[in-house]
Structure 1
Amino acid sequence: MKYFPFLCSCLIFFEFTEAAMSETQLKAAVKLVRNMCQPKSKATTEDIEKMHQGDWNIDHTAMCYMHCALNSNKLITKDNVFNLDYALILAEKNLPTALKDASIEAAKLCKDAAKTLDDKCIAAYEISKCLYESNPEKYFLP
């Protein structure tokens, strides 16, 4: 919770700036979200690392970790669907050039990835897995 005001400040700052984040800034933002969401969801480091290696056989707590990560960036709605419009805005305004096109393409491919809408954690898992599988080399979620 101690990171929340800083995260909000960062998001507001990046929302109103024209310059994209650098790779270093993106890594710092990802680390911040991870430091906030991992204790909150009680996801293990092992499960988080598994996702980054393409192994999506994870515990439900790791799925809830992904909900926290997506929700902290407004990428999942209250109805548990992917917020495509906002994802496109964030990608266009904030992502480093090296990730922008791949992220926009992944977002469009995954707009309907959430199928299990009655469980926010599973819906976030479905979205995150789709984003990863659309371009594993450019996946950068926490």
Structure 2
Amino acid sequence: MLCFMHYQSIYAMTRQQLKNSGKLMKKSCMPKNDVTEEQVGQIEQGKFIEERNVMCYVACVYSMTQVVKNNKLNHEAVIKQVDMMFPPDMKDAVKAAAENCKDIGKKYKDICEVSYWTAKCMYDYDPKNFKIKDLFRMSQLHNIVLCVLLFTNIHFSLQMSKEQLKKTMTIMKNQCMPKNGVTNDEVGEIDQGVFLEEHNVMCYIACIYKNIQVLRNNRLDKDLITRQIDILYPAEIKEAVKKSVRKCIPVQNLYEDTCEGIFYAARCLYADDPSNFIFP
């Protein structure tokens, strides 16, 4: 997967870190739509296979970047994301492609078809700038941040302010809140240690961890978490973070219910190191 490197921005990371982090979103959308690497691995080179599951895979990507409103691609939401997440030298080009293709969706009623043909239009309009970037760039940044947030100190990760992190985390929060029927009053202060012992809150927390690909067989997996730490974390804090994870992950085994187990493991992570615990 091709990812960008904007060296002068607050999102500056190594090319390998971006590449590894982008895999998280891809892993989420591929199984949901039963597609293979052969089917979707060359979209960035203009290979758009006209199959239903591929179309819905593209729609899944757009959905994760929060540009789908009422089951339709929302042009204003696209522009907002571009303004917020893209480097200045690319904004105009991406906006031009989005403007050129914004009416493609009017020809189709189905969100999968709308997303697919819009993406193809954007590629055809500007292949050089599109590649896979127009689909993946926003979601990559969100996933990069979220992987780091749950277990480490923000000052050692992306060097972002708390407000910037809060804005970036919104996408994951917006996905998991409606899925679990929770309100901001219930989950808005988890990062301050307010863990309401209600099942929908527990499942909201489980949803966050599931979306960042650290669950295996419905349990937090120490190896998956450790792998993320090894890939994304600065050397000077890796061992401290791993120590906290080793302490708290076994807590989930005291509970049969997946949501309960993950909830109490997360609460343990907060209790073990409140100052470094950040959660959407």
Same fold at TM > 0.5: yes
Identity in percent: 29
4+ aligned runs moved over 6 Å, structure 1: none
> Is contact 1:76-1:124 (8 Å) kept?
no
> Is contact 2:66-2:77 (8 Å) kept?
yes
CA deviations over 1:70-116 (Å, ceiling 9, x no partner): 01112222242x21111111111111234322111111111111121
Q: Are residues 31 and 56 of structure 1, via their aligned partners in 2, closer, same or farther at CA, if it must alter by over 3 Å? A: same
Structure 1 residue 57, shift from structure 2 partner: 2.8
Query: Residue 65 of structure 1 aligns with which residue?
Result: 57
Q: Output the aligned Cα RMSD.
A: 2.3
> Aligned runs of 1:1-142 on 2, under 5 Å?
21-22=11-12, 24=15, 27=19, 30-80=22-72, 82-114=73-105, 115-117=107-109, 119-139=110-130, 140=133, 141-142=135-136
Q: Are residues 99 and 22 of structure 1, via their aligned partners in 2, closer, same or farther at CA, if it must alter by over 3 Å? A: farther
Q: Are residues 21 and 127 of structure 1, via their aligned partners in 2, closer, same or farther at CA, if it must alter by over 3 Å? A: farther
Structure 1 residue 46, shift from structure 2 partner: 1.2
Structure 1 residue 130, shift from structure 2 partner: 1.3
> Is contact 1:26-1:95 (8 Å) kept?
no
Letter paired with 2:58: M
Q: Distance in 1 between matches of 2:22 and 2:29?
A: 10
Letter paired with 2:93: A
Letter paired with 1:96: P
Unaligned runs of 5+ in 2: 1-8, 137-280
Q: Distance in 2 between matches of 1:32 and 1:131?
A: 23
**TM-score between the two structures when normalised by the length of structure 1:** 0.73
**TM-score between the two structures when normalised by the length of structure 2:** 0.39
> Is contact 2:40-2:48 (8 Å) kept?
no
Letter paired with 2:119: S
Q: Are residues 26 and 51 of structure 1, via their aligned partners in 2, closer, same or farther at CA, if it must alter by over 3 Å? A: same
Q: Which has the higher contact order (CA 8 A, sep 6+)?
A: 1
Q: Distance in 1 between matches of 2:28 and 2:104?
A: 25
Q: Are residues 20 and 86 of structure 1, via their aligned partners in 2, closer, same or farther at CA, if it must alter by over 3 Å? A: farther
Report the count of equivalent residues: 122
Letter paired with 1:135: D
Unaligned runs of 5+ in 1: 1-18
Q: Distance in 2 between matches of 1:97 and 1:21?
A: 13
> Is contact 2:59-2:116 (8 Å) kept?
yes
Q: Distance in 2 between matches of 1:72 and 1:40?
A: 12
Q: Are residues 89 and 21 of structure 1, via their aligned partners in 2, closer, same or farther at CA, if it must alter by over 3 Å? A: farther
Q: Are residues 138 and 99 of structure 1, via their aligned partners in 2, closer, same or farther at CA, if it must alter by over 3 Å? A: same
Partner SS for 2:42: helix
